[in-house]
Amino acid sequence: MVALLAPLLAWASGAVAPGSEWLPGRLLVNFDESVGEVQSQLRERGLLSLDQVDVDELLNRYEVFALTRIVPDGVLDRMPAEPDARRLVVVEFPATYDVLAVRDAFLALPAVADAEPDYLMRQLDTTPNDQSWNQQWDKRLMNCPVAWDFSQGSREILAVAVDGGFFWSHDDAYDNLWVNPGEDVDGDQVPYSFPDYPGDIDDLNGIDDDGNGFVDDLIGWDFIDNIGNAAPGEDADVPDNDSYSIGNHGSHVLGLIGARGGNGIGVAGVCWNMRIMASRAGYVPSNGEGVVVTSAAIATINWAVAHGVDIINMSYGGPSFSNQVNNTIQAAWASGALLCGASGNDGSTNPQYPADYVNVISVGSVDTDDGLSSFTNRGPWVECYAPGGGVYSLNLNDGYTNLQGTSMASPNAAGIFALVWSVFPDLNNGQLRDLVLQNCADIQAANPGVDPTWLGWGRVDAELALAALLPNLSVNAATISNDNDADGRLEANETGQLALSVSNATDWFEASGVNVTVTSNDPNLTLSNTNYTITSLPGGQTQQLANANATIACGANVPWAYTTTLTVEFWIPGDVRLVRNVTLRIGRAPTLVVDDDNGATFAGFYGAALANGGYNFDDFSTALDGGVSTQLLNHYDNVIWACGNEQTGTLTQSDRDVLQSYLSGGGNLMLVGQGIDEDTDVRNSEFYTDYLHSQSGAAGGSTQLTGVVGDPISENANLILLGGGCGSNGNVSPSVLTATNGGVIVYTYNSNGLGGAVRYSNDTYRVVYFGFALEAACGSVGSTHHREVVRRVMNWFGAVSDADDSPNELPVSFNVSRAYPNPFNPEASVDLELRRESHVRVTLHDVLGRQVETIVDRPVSAGTHTLTISGANLPSGSYWLNVSVDNLSQTQRIVLLK
């Protein structure tokens, strides 16, 4: 143990800053070591005495009725660096005596090392003036989501808010509550049995099990002792193990640091997988303005340090320097803790304490645009800034609310320090401080006219802190080569080499010596030697990772094409693990959707229509994947080629050549595009007349069409091209078509009776060409939906959906029932109906979309099946249940309540 015999910085004890406030009838006195052992005493047990004549005379003169040790020996004995506090007491006397006069009398004694008022420090929050702020914008501004890819925190990191209490039974705190191992008699880490009493009934025995001077401090302690003038309903009398307060300040603050994330409720703290200590060093007085009591703050900090706290937040302040607080803070820093303090809400450059003590990181507030909040103190003494201008966090009674102030900025910064520490656990507090501060976001541009020396290092940023030492690797694609048929697609009974395209984000640290491992839980796939090494990859660059021995093999049971997910683990030196997912298409579908609409979204409607009809399909984008080849199309029986509104640049000569070859080889084509007929190169081509069997009608169509009697595609069908949840492009340029060379008109425009679509079939191929925006037909006013048209076209092609040959004996459609019961504990179930044997993948995801459990991932026979979801190993919260059947999926929300 290291003893700090004197604070690193001390003020003359007689100095009291203007505006200081303190409790009446109380004084903090630190006796000289010559006094010997000092313990708590009460006058009701007789006259108080320290066996020092001059001291005892003052005790009698000022009618002192209590001497109370602030920090018990049981706490000091545990501290790595001990403050000078073994003789530090609260001296209580009648409020009729002037506190400063009593202080001066004690300071005049040789036996007194220091004496000062028990200062009241204001909690530094204000009521927000705009309740419509985006919830948790603060986390996005600090780029927490990027850092959360590396870590959401660590159970080894412990934080405390020296504040006005904590609503410890909040649903968003339970999973992160610290449990004192010395008081956890049964060792089950359960924080409490009932939400109205702070403890597990198996552990509350009325004994100070860990010998720290506090009985049953299983999850925390209330250090407020014998303070009057409290607001109605506020506890301000006897210290105990219940940190509840009628104020919400402390709950809001600690929630910003470490509210549990990923549990489907409320909010996520910056470092949302850590441990938080319930404590109370403040109260709400009769005027309703929360305050922190200096003696209680000293006790809280020392108690937390004795139990290994890593992060200490202090969202309160005042103008007075306290030697005893400073002594405590320096001991906490020397013990390895990192401390953050709010800069104050005066909108001035005046320093505030504790923020301005040495080894406390002073934090000011910024708004959503990184501009300084109007209320924030600023100046050369402020070291950094964080979001505080109206942020969302915990409230009393399991609620949530917005508060604003540097009280909110400080815990946001503290959370960043905790989060970064979880990634780099070997850093000491000084190294961590320097890493985060030296990599803050520059906010000078957002604050023109503000003296740059007042902006500190800038605004804390989790991404920038990590980028200084780590690469940020992502997987662009997984590719197959040397597969059996050399088409780059893994199909049934094939084996190929697996390669990855990976990138390192711009401005991130160079990747060097990074080991990469690829795994899969897909039962159809077998991966061997899928290990790679990134020797060097600077930020902003991309690299191909190949390994001649890295193979991926596909089993025989792949009746339909589907997308699988591979897990890619990057092991970065320093034992940092970064996990990414990359998708890989397995098998070939009978149908291909070609997106040739120049980056628009119209082609997506045809994929959705196929999925709705139970048709397995692949997709290809000319904008993303390049030109279409004959080799590609020859893998498919049917092609749906969507051109959207494009009048040029689509159906190039190369495209037409490929399609002619495809059709001549026996393929089926559905072509859709209202701009195709506007392209003179296309409409004057041999492909147009001899393969589409169409000619331009040299006229314009309308937004309403009627099917042709007896036609297999359009009979009894009426189309209205008015969008409404589908394509909104129905009236852009519908083309009139004339059938030629054996072609047949399929739809006619109601406005003029002329053709809008043409079909043709022979013994080799079938083709249907829509000269209007079929995707804009949404089934309004009793008309036909484009999905029905696609289904009829597929039937005409002879395509088979995923339906079984005996539909009367099996469910008529793919269906997933609602989970029951919901909410559930510990199990729920869903019924899954399949029309044919299919590959079923059922996964559970948290509210941020991260997969937390795989329930089923294998082929499942046709029929009705019951799937069980177990919440035994999951925390309470909301989850997304995703059921994927080949190329179809359904998602529903389920709630686990334990």
- Distance (Å) of CA 681 to CA 551, 598, 647, 684: 46, 18, 10, 6
3-state DSSP assignment of residue 719: strand
Q: Residue 820: is its pLDDT beyond 80?
A: no
> What is 471-487 written as a DSSP string?
--EEEEEEEEES-TTSS
How far apart (Å, rounded) are the C-alpha atoms in residues 213 and 170? Answer: 27
Query: Which pLDDT band, with edges at 50, 70 and 90, does 802 fall under?
Result: low
**Arithmetic mean of pLDDT, 228-252:** 91
Residue 210's pLDDT band (boundaries 50, 70, 90)? Answer: very high
Show the tokens assigned to 26.
């109380």
On whether the CB atoms of residues 228 and 294 are closer than 8 A, the answer is: no
The residue with tokens 């922190």 is 292
Mean pLDDT of the chain: 89
On the question of pLDDT at 502 being above 80, the answer is yes
At 848 the pLDDT is: 52
Among residues 523, 422, 492, 482, which one has the least CA distance to residue 144?
422
Angstrom distance (rounded) from CA 313 to CA 355? 10
pLDDT in tens, 540-584: 999 999 999 999 999 988 878 888 899 999 999 999 999 998 989
Q: Tens digits of per-residue pLDDT, 38-93?
A: 998 888 767 888 989 999 999 999 999 989 999 999 999 999 999 999 999 999 99
Closest among 150, 167, 183, 211 to 509, alpha carbons compared = 150
Specify the pairing of strand 838-845 against strand 851-860.
antiparallel
Tell which phi-psi region holds residue 258, choosing left (phi > 0), alpha (psi between -120 and 50) or beta.
alpha
* Distance separating alpha carbons of residues 145 and 155, to the nearest angstrom: 19
Report which DSSP code applies to 35.
G
pTM for the whole thing? 0.78
Q: What is d(CA 423, CA 743) in angstroms, rounded to the nearest whole number?
A: 67
Q: What is the pLDDT of residue 192?
A: 92
Three-class DSSP labels, 104-155 = HHHHCCCCEEEEEEEEEEEECCECCCCCCCCCCHHHHHCCHHHHHCCCCCCC
Residues of the chain with pLDDT > 70, as a percent, come to 93
The residue with greater pLDDT, 812 or 354, is: 354
CA–CA distances in Å: residue 21 to residues 317, 318, 325, 329, 742? 11, 8, 15, 21, 97
For the segment 157-207, what is each residue's pLDDT rounded down to a tens digit? 999 999 999 999 999 999 999 999 999 999 999 999 998 889 898 898 999
Q: What is the pLDDT of residue 791?
A: 95
Helices assigned H by DSSP within 777-844: 786-797
Instruction: Please report which confidence band the pLDDT of residue 832 belongs to, taking 50, 70 and 90 as the band edges.
Output: confident
Q: Which domains does the chain have, with CATH numbers?
A: 2-119 (3.30.70.80), 473-586 (2.60.40.10), 591-797 (3.40.50.880), 807-896 (2.60.40.3080)
Helix (H) or strand (E) holding 316: strand 316-317
Q: Contact at 8 Å (CB) between 39 and 87?
A: no
pLDDT at site 196:
87
What's residue 833's pLDDT?
79
Contact 894, 819 (CB under 8 A): yes
**pLDDT the model gives residue 699:** 83
**Mean predicted confidence (pLDDT) in 814-821:** 74
Name which of 372-376, 694-698, 780-784, 812-816 the model is least confident about: 812-816
Q: What share of the chain is helix, strand, coil (3-state, %, to 5)?
A: 20, 30, 50
In whole angstroms, give the CA distance from residue 145 to residue 138: 11
Please say whether the beta carbons of 251 and 165 come within 8 A.
yes
Which pLDDT does position 226 carry in this prediction?
85
C-alpha distances out from residue 364 to 136, 259, 461, 829, Å: 18, 22, 14, 50
Cβ neighbours around 798 below 10 Å, total: 11
Could you report the per-residue pLDDT of 123-167, keeping only the tens digit for each?
865 444 333 334 788 998 999 989 999 999 999 999 999 999 999
Close Cβ partners of 680 (under 8 Å, ≥ 6 residues apart): none
| C-alpha span between 539 and 438 (Å, rounded) | 19
Give dist(CA 410, CA 408) in Å, integer. 6
Q: Residue 752: enclosing H or E segment and its boundaries?
A: none
Token digits for 254?
A: 């600690």
Query: How much of the chain exceeds pLDDT 90, in percent?
Result: 68
Q: Which residue has the higher pLDDT, 732 or 685?
A: 685
**Residue among 515, 607, 519, 531 at smallest CA distance from 565:** 519
| Alpha-carbon distances of 352 from 126, 340, 493, rounded to whole Å | 17, 12, 71
Report helix, strand or coil for 218: coil
Q: What is the DSSP pairing of strand 66-69 with strand 88-92?
A: antiparallel
Q: What pLDDT sits at residue 811? A: 36
